[in-house]
Amino acid sequence: MSFQPETLLVDNEDRIATVTINRPDKHNALNSQMLDELWAVFEALQEDDAVGGVVVTGTGVKAFAAGADIAELHQLRSKSGKRASSKGQAVMSLIESTGKPVIAAIEGYALGGGCELALACHLRVASRTAKLGLPELGLGLIPGYGGTQRLPRLIGKGRALEMILDGNPVDAERAYSIGLVNKVVEEGETVRTSREWLESIIKKAPLAMRTAIQSVHAAYPNRAQGFQDEARLFGYLCGTDDAREGTAAFLEKRNPGFHNR
């Protein structure tokens, strides 16, 4: 890879690349720079014939990624919020459309944008101590990186609404039982399991694999409008006092007081 990302660690061993989100002091929260770097890394991995599959994970066992960076979310207003959502969505869609299998290896928290990143991967392996959730409503926001679109498709509308409206993360056992993750393994074992899984998957014909991924996604033909609506609605909320208050309350480590405006 010709450039060195600052927020990600990337390696390629035996045809399997590992992309590690590396902001441990912020529970691997996804900031704007990281989205740019994810974009560049996935474009490069897509083109690299030496790579047959990709594992996405976070540094350490405490967090896969605890969401979009709330300090950045706090600065957004309507227009910039819509732009930020569209940018996050574009990165997630690029990952989803990678023509090689991508597995999320989830240790610890996969919340908000972190959960949406896991949803954009083709398969998910979670540790027993993982927690997955979309807590954005507690910030006065909604999921803005495609979560309102991908989650219902994966686990059904009723369960998706439960996760989004309730906001409490689900543990690995529940995540497995509702089809949110594909495998559950011991803490610290998700990357090894994902690599082993990919080793067997990538023995199959690469062209057929790319085509299968493309064909499965063709089952959802009217995706664009849903994503546009999500970005518009996310932008709308970024312009409200409630979003400013919700994000400020998190940063100031206090409970929010919402005023419905």
Q: Using CB under 6 A, list all residues that contact ligand COA.
A: 26-27, 29, 66-71, 109, 111-113, 135-136, 139
Phi-psi region of 146 (alpha: psi -120 to 50; beta: other; left: phi over 0): left
Residues 187, 192, 193, 198, CA torsion sign: positive
**CA pair distance 77, 82, nearest whole angstrom:** 8
Q: How far is the CB of 69 from ligand COA (least distance, A)?
A: 4
Of the listed 37, 96, 107, 136, which one is catalytic?
136
Of the listed 96, 107, 116, 230, which one is catalytic?
116
E strand or H helix at 68: none
Q: How far is the CB of 36 from ligand COA (least distance, A)?
A: 17
Q: How far is the CB of 47 from ligand COA (least distance, A)?
A: 30
Q: At what angle do helices 147-155 and 223-238 cross, to 10 degrees?
A: 130
Annotated catalytic residue 186: no
Annotated catalytic residue 116: yes
> Which of 53/113 has CB closer to ligand COA?
113
The side-by-side arrangement of strands in the sheet containing 53-58 is: 8-13, 16-21, 53-58, 102-106, 123-127, 183-185
3-state helix vs strand vs coil in the chain, percent to 5: 50, 15, 35
> Which of 53/108 has CB closer to ligand COA?
108
**CA pair distance 220, 124, nearest whole angstrom:** 20
> Which of 139/209 has CB closer to ligand COA?
139
Q: How far is the CB of 144 from ligand COA (least distance, A)?
A: 8
> Which of 221/257 has CB closer to ligand COA?
257
As annotated, the active-site residues are: 116, 136
